Structure 1
Amino acid sequence: MSTLRVLQMLPLAIALLVACQASGAPDTEVWSKPYEIVQRPRPTFPDQARANSGRVDLICVVAAGGRMTGCQIVSEQPERQGFGQAAVASMRQARIAVDPNGPQPGARIRSTISFWNGQGQPPS
């Protein structure tokens, strides 16, 4: 690729980078204040889990009506046992209050989902 072609494509690359940051890319700010949960997620314990408990941290985008969309797994313990996917699926039914002092549609929030199958020690 010629130097001229690279220079011609540079404005497009910069525009795409700015658009990704504005749309809730992972490096954008996450809401850090408490928020009111209107409808809690009800995760289903994964069938393939070998552990008695699990914990998943998610970052989701608030949509209209307080719905959660675009959830991304930040951490999952233990990994590869289905806890992450179950947590993301459960957030489809979760709702938060959208009010002037809380996160507005488009805001990114952090949520933690804990799992326990009733055996052994519950998660701390």
Structure 2
Amino acid sequence: MIRTLTFASLAAAVGAPAAAQVVWTVAPTAADMAAAYPEKARAEGIGGGVDLICTARRNGGMTDCDVMGEEPRGYGFGAAARRLAARMQAVGVVKDAEVRFSITFAPALAKGGTYVARTPRWAALPSVADMQAAAPKTEGGPNDARVTLVCEVKAGGVLDGCAVDREEPAGQGFGPAILALAPKFKVELMSAEGMPTVGARVRVPVRFDLKPVEQAAK
């Protein structure tokens, strides 16, 4: 029986590509955040968050940044966030426009090691045709399969060094299928919670929802 893959399962698993949010073309990496981490907070293992409002330059750079909110106070997160913001650059912003965004300092960043960006925003996903071509063509195979990759994020939000972390059911070829599509996934440079993705790891959960053609057409 011929089966088809519904794309909704992929979008639901990883989330649709980012929309109506600031898209950064230059943003801090995990190493940049580690270097900028306030020393007092680093020593005490404290994390924090800062809400900023900046003015956009003609080239999308940020200037005249003010701290609108800082938690907790007294650790230097606001000043550190302003220094980082001065090196950030966005696309699609108008000169002199106000740009509001957040930067989150997690204790894992202070250590300078690899951490998992838990809320990545997806800049690119495989197409329906990509998924259809990748799905294993086995007669009477499973109609539902789940795969999770763990990948490193390199410059530009490109995924690299991916490995299959979960494959259900195992041994049916779904893990290798998604692994082959890893180059088609791409993340934004900052996560939804305001943390850098470059230098971090991300989890890529994908669900194959395979149905007979006549059922999928309804």
Give the equivalent residue in structure 2 for 1:36. 121
Runs of 4+ in 1 over 6 A off after TM superposition: none
TM-score (structure 1 length as normaliser)? 0.65
The answer to whether the 8 A contact 1:45-1:116 is kept is no
Structure with more contact order per residue of length (Cα contacts < 8 Å, sep ≥ 6): 1
Note the C-alpha offset of 1:104: 2.9
Give the equivalent residue in structure 2 for 1:107. 200
Give the equivalent residue in structure 2 for 1:8. none
Note the C-alpha offset of 1:111: 1.3
User: 2:211 is paired with a residue of what secondary structure?
Assistant: coil
Separation of aligned partners in 1, 2:154 and 2:138: 31
Runs of 5+ consecutive residues of structure 2 not aligned to the other structure: 1-112, 213-218
Which one is further off, 110-119 or 96-105?
96-105
How many correspondences in the alignment? Answer: 94
Q: Is residue 168 of structure 2 the alignment partner of residue 77 of structure 1?
A: yes
Note the C-alpha offset of 1:59: 0.7
Note the C-alpha offset of 1:68: 0.8
The answer to whether the 8 A contact 2:136-2:172 is kept is yes
The answer to whether the 8 A contact 1:35-1:103 is kept is no
Which one is further off, 40-49 or 77-86?
40-49
Larger proportion of strand: 2
The answer to whether the 8 A contact 2:144-2:209 is kept is yes
Cα distance change on mapping 1:114 and 1:103 into 2, 3 Å: farther
Give, as a single letter, the amino acid of the residue that structure 1 aligns with 2:203. R
Larger radius of gyration: 2
Fraction of identical pairs, as percent? 33
Runs of 5+ consecutive residues of structure 1 not aligned to the other structure: 1-23, 120-124
Instruction: Map Cα deviations across residues 65-120 of structure 1 (whole Å, 9 max, x no partner).
Output: 1111111111100001110011111221111111382433221011101112224x
What are the within-5 Å matches in structure 2 for residues 44-123 of structure 1? 44-48=134-138, 50-99=141-190, 101-119=194-212
Separation of aligned partners in 2, 1:99 and 1:53: 32
TM-score (structure 2 length as normaliser)? 0.39
Separation of aligned partners in 2, 1:57 and 1:38: 18
